[in-house]
Amino acid sequence: MSFESLGLLPELLRAVREQGYEHPTPIQAQAIPLVLEGRDLLARAQTGTGKTAGFTLPLLQLLAPHASSSASPARHPIRALILTPTRELAMQVEESVRTYGKHIPLRSATIFGGVNINPQTKALRAGVEILVATPGRLLDHHQQGNLNFSQLEILVLDEADRMLDMGFIRDIQKIISLLPTSRQTLLFSATFTDEIKQLASKFLKNPASVQITPQNTAAELVRQVVHPVDRERKRALLAHLITSRKLEQVLVFTRTKHGANRLSEQLDKDGISSMAIHGNKSQPQRIKALEEFKKGSVRVLVATDIAARGLDIDQLPHVVNYELPQVPEDYIHRIGRTGRAGSEGEALSLVCVDEHKLLKDIEKLLRKELPKDVIHGYAPDPSIPAEPIQTGRQGGGGRSRGPARAPRPSAGAAPRGERGRHPARPSNRGK
């Protein structure tokens, strides 16, 4: 299968070639022709499958006929809206729009919370055909009268399951109510829960369905190993693994923001350069951490699930689960950071006695047992009893299983994604 055979425009084929892509990934091969036909699409695909190009390429093609180099804002109405759960993902999606749309004169912009609204307003007023946005800030702009969706043709809900988990359902419904009903709608989700099916049946018209299961994508290429270890010895083991195996570019997951900060500081003390990335960090701080990590001047990036969601780091060699996630699907998202689009990766999980149940749940989801490798000198002490896991729900990156249903908080300084997740819960961070 070649990109040419998908019927893409020469301008897009050129951009794809410039990226060095040789063949479409399975999600691209399936989704692109359906979107080009004008069908609504319900696609099950996780990050790492090439899903972004799967919707961006055909979207650009559908909009290309009326692309204009005119400076007049009126010639650049909003024609496509891509909603994402987090600002990182929004930025990365827009980067893809720019990359693949390099040879087509369409304008794009990203809008998300936690940063000054004025530059976004200015960009919107200048005219933008492709808008990538997180739901909360989009509604802020709507309230300020900055948006006109009368000419909208395509809506993409990217990582829709995550948006629902984060409590964005009302925002999404409100946003969709502002859009023309004649639009084409594409919904991407890593899981097909009942909630997602409901959302699809409400807002998609006779959608084509495409499923790329984690089992036959990135996850399969990832070497996964569990290192059993005592709770209190995880940090020492992590430092040992990094130094003895000379690991570079290691993405480490913790459950809470507090845990991410603490681990990052401790690694620094151990002489292993590291930075933490989570929802309490300002946008410039997050960007800086990601850049330093990408260029190799920081060896370890410690992240919470939500902060790492959608991070686009090509061919990341190592992912470490310093703590297992509360929700098994998050494990798949995490290891999706490595072994991406054809390159092999490695996912190490440091698992203590408290996490045996979580590990069982993950193995059930993967439908296989993960190999266990006790590192010499770090064997767990069997006399240590299990303790309840601190999820850091109130202040951390832990994920709530319960549906978050709360009114959208007003625009403010805290990153919207994490506020939306744990609304109106008292802070209990000092525990």
DSSP 380: -
49 touches ligand AMP by CB under 6 A? yes
List 6, 8, 15, 24, residue binding ligand AMP (CB under 6 A):
24
DSSP 83: E
Q: Rounded to whole angstroms, how far apart are CA atoms 25 and 105? A: 26
Min separation Cβ 99 and ligand AMP, Å: 8
Min separation Cβ 431 and ligand AMP, Å: 35
Min separation Cβ 19 and ligand AMP, Å: 6
Q: Choose the binding region for ligand AMP from 21-29, 249-257, 295-303, 379-387 (rule: CB under 6 A).
A: 21-29
List 8, 12, 15, 25, residue binding ligand AMP (CB under 6 A):
25
Min separation Cβ 406 and ligand AMP, Å: 29
Binding mask 289-318 for ligand AMP (x = CB under 6 A): -----------------------x-x----
List 41, 53, 155, 219, residue binding ligand AMP (CB under 6 A):
53
Q: Rounded to whole angstroms, how far apart are CA atoms 42 and 158? A: 11
Nearest to 224 by CA among 136, 312, 335: 335
List 340, 393, 408, 421, residue binding ligand AMP (CB under 6 A):
340
List 341, 353, 366, 406, residue binding ligand AMP (CB under 6 A):
341
Query: Which 3 state secondary structure label does DSSP give 390?
Result: coil
Q: Rounded to whole angstroms, how far apart are CA atoms 100 and 82? A: 15
Binding mask 26-45 for ligand AMP (x = CB under 6 A): --x-----------------
Q: Choose the binding region for ligand AMP from 19-27, 222-230, 244-252, 271-279 (rule: CB under 6 A).
A: 19-27
Q: How many residues does the chain have?
A: 431
Shorter beta-carbon distance to ligand AMP: residue 48 or 113? 48
Q: Write the CA distances from 335 to 24, 47, 169, 305, 312, integer angstroms.
A: 22, 10, 27, 11, 13
Q: Rounded to whole angstroms, how far apart are CA atoms 285 and 295? A: 15
Residue listed under structure tokens 């933008």: 128
Nearest to 411 by CA among 82, 146, 94, 92: 146
Min separation Cβ 28 and ligand AMP, Å: 6
Min separation Cβ 332 and ligand AMP, Å: 13
48 touches ligand AMP by CB under 6 A? yes
Shorter beta-carbon distance to ligand AMP: residue 3 or 149? 3
Shorter beta-carbon distance to ligand AMP: residue 305 or 323? 305
Q: Choose the binding region for ligand AMP from 20-28, 317-325, 377-385, 422-430 (rule: CB under 6 A).
A: 20-28
Min separation Cβ 266 and ligand AMP, Å: 31
Query: Which 3 state secondary structure label does DSSP give 49?
Result: coil
21 touches ligand AMP by CB under 6 A? yes
189 touches ligand AMP by CB under 6 A? no
Q: Rounded to whole angstroms, how far apart are CA atoms 403 and 123? A: 34
Residues binding ligand AMP: number (CB under 6 A): 16
Q: Write the CA distances from 266 to 243, 270, 271, 273, integer angstroms.
A: 14, 6, 9, 10
Min separation Cβ 328 and ligand AMP, Å: 20
Q: Choose the binding region for ligand AMP from 16-24, 79-87, 164-172, 376-384 (rule: CB under 6 A).
A: 16-24
List 29, 34, 47, 162, residue binding ligand AMP (CB under 6 A):
47
Shorter beta-carbon distance to ligand AMP: residue 93 or 229? 93
Residue listed under structure tokens 């909208």: 152
Query: Which 3 state secondary structure label does DSSP give 251?
Result: strand
Min separation Cβ 181 and ligand AMP, Å: 28
Q: Write the CA distances from 164 to 157, 189, 409, 415, integer angstroms.
A: 11, 10, 16, 17
Q: Choose the binding region for ligand AMP from 46-54, 137-145, 272-280, 372-380 (rule: CB under 6 A).
A: 46-54
Q: Rounded to whole angstroms, how far apart are CA atoms 123 and 129? A: 11
Q: Rounded to whole angstroms, how far apart are CA atoms 47 and 191? A: 12
Q: Rounded to whole angstroms, how far apart are CA atoms 110 and 115? A: 11
Strands (E), 235-344: 250-253, 274-277, 300-303, 318-321
Q: Rounded to whole angstroms, how far apart are CA atoms 348 and 240? A: 13
Point out which residues bind ligand AMP (CB under 6 A): 21, 23-25, 28, 47-53, 312, 314, 340-341
